[in-house]
């Protein structure tokens, strides 16, 4: 609603998600492995269904665009739908309608799955929940004076407005993004220059266990290979963010590693991509993650009941996972502030 000035119904949400899932499974996966489905799709019921679903997804984009155009009370702020409608590149109405589902997929699901994965990682490491919660309470107490300064002015601010991102919470979110990148496939880029590598250099990317022993890939011929300028390349985030030459014990969940992040570590973290075509909504996504996780961690403890399984379809995420939720204990140093934070 905030981005597109459109309040979708639950039925519209469900239809959009189901239609998108059906269309993507056909056009992204089935036809990529079986080109005959594209040639003879008219005779295949599931292909015809996928085309109908794609039309419904596009139709939803047109509906949102038309609703904005007919809205007499458009927001004065620069909303996303306003930027799409008033872009300087003379997009057609159909091209503008296509942008809307794209932003919905990229902006909503990625943040939601990242939040879910972060909660799962914290539930698997109870000591990290405790450490993060205490850091948040310290931040809240440190900023309580700011809220008290507003009292003489007659302003009333809910307690959660005083929750500012803690350094350790930021490390937890960063490590969760690194440990399990939701958009693990990454993005496609065109090389601006020629790159030359050797297989011996590439061999430094060898998975190692906790003891530091190689997992068996030791004898590799030193062969040169070239990536020419102008080549289309794909760098999966799951590779760059688990490079053992950059991250010590890359398969371990260790938020504290970001306390003294190296240049190589920050450059290898590509969850929002990089360059001029990086994620347009990364600031909003980080604000949502910091705020939502802070409130959840302060108020609740999470315990893994069923870890479920990891599944990749457009995004890498947990499927079938179950967490048990209970009220979180209040640290002794903050018990006198419980009513201020959560109410009576």
Q: CB–CB of 57/16 below 8 Å?
A: yes
Alpha carbon distance 320, 309 (integer Å): 7
Contact between residue 121 and residue 176 where contact means Cβ atoms under 8 Å apart:
yes
CA distance 270 to 187: 9
**Cβ-based neighbours of 169, under 8 Å, separated by 6 or more:** 132, 135, 136, 290, 293, 294, 297
Quick check: helix, strand or coil at residue 318? strand
Would you call 132 exposed, middle or buried from its count of C-beta atoms within 10 A (0-12, 13-18, 19+)?
Answer: buried
Quote the CA–CA distance of 137 and 256 in Å, as a whole number. 18
- Region of 343 (left: φ > 0; alpha: ψ -120 to 50; beta: rest) is left
279 is annotated as contributing to ligand binding: yes
Contact 234, 185 (CB under 8 A): yes
**Residues for the chain: how many in total?**
344
H or E element, residue 189: strand 188-190
**DSSP secondary structure letter of residue 7:** -
DSSP 266-312: HHH--TT--STTS-TTHHHHHHHHHHHHHHHHHHEEEEEEE--EEEE
Q: Scanning the structure block, which residue is given the tokens 């990454």?
A: 186
Residue ranges at the known binding site: 279
Residue ranges at the known binding site for heme: 279
């Amino acid at each position: 609603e905030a981005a597109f000035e459109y309040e979708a119904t639950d039925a519209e949400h469900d239809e959009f998600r189901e239609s998108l899932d059906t269309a993507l499974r056909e056009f992204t996966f089935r036809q990529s492995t079986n080109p005959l489905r594209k040639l003879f799709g008219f005779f295949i019921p599931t292909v015809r269904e996928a085309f109908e679903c794609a039309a419904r997804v596009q139709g939803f984009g047109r509906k949102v665009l038309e609703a904005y155009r007919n809205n007499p009370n458009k927001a004065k702020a620069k909303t996303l739908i306003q930027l799409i409608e008033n872009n300087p590149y003379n997009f057609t109405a159909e091209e503008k309608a296509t942008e809307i589902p794209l932003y919905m997929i990229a902006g909503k699901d990625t943040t939601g799955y990242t939040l879910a994965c972060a909660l799962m990682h914290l539930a698997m490491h109870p000591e990290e929940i405790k450490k993060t919660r205490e850091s948040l309470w310290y931040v809240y107490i440190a900023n309580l004076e700011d809220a008290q300064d507003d009292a003489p002015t007659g302003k009333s601010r809910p307690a959660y407005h005083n929750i500012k991102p803690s350094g350790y919470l930021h490390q937890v979110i960063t490590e969760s993004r690194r440990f399990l990148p939701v958009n693990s496939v990454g993005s496609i880029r065109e090389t601006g220059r020629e790159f030359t590598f050797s297989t011996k250099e590439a061999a430094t990317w060898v998975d190692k266990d906790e003891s530091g022993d190689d997992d068996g890939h030791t004898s590799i011929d030193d062969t040169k290979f070239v990536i020419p300028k102008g080549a289309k390349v794909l760098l999966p985030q799951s590779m760059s963010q688990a490079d053992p030459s950059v991250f010590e014990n890359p398969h371990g969940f260790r938020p504290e590693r970001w306390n003294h992040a190296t240049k190589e570590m920050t450059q290898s973290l590509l969850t929002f991509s990089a360059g001029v075509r990086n994620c347009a909504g990364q600031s909003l996504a980080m604000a949502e993650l910091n705020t939502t996780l802070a409130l959840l961690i302060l108020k609740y403890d999470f315990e893994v009941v069923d870890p479920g399984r990891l599944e990749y379809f457009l995004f890498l995420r947990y499927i079938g996972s179950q967490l048990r939720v209970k009220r979180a204990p209040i640290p002794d140093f903050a018990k006198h502030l419980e009513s201020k934070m959560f109410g009576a």
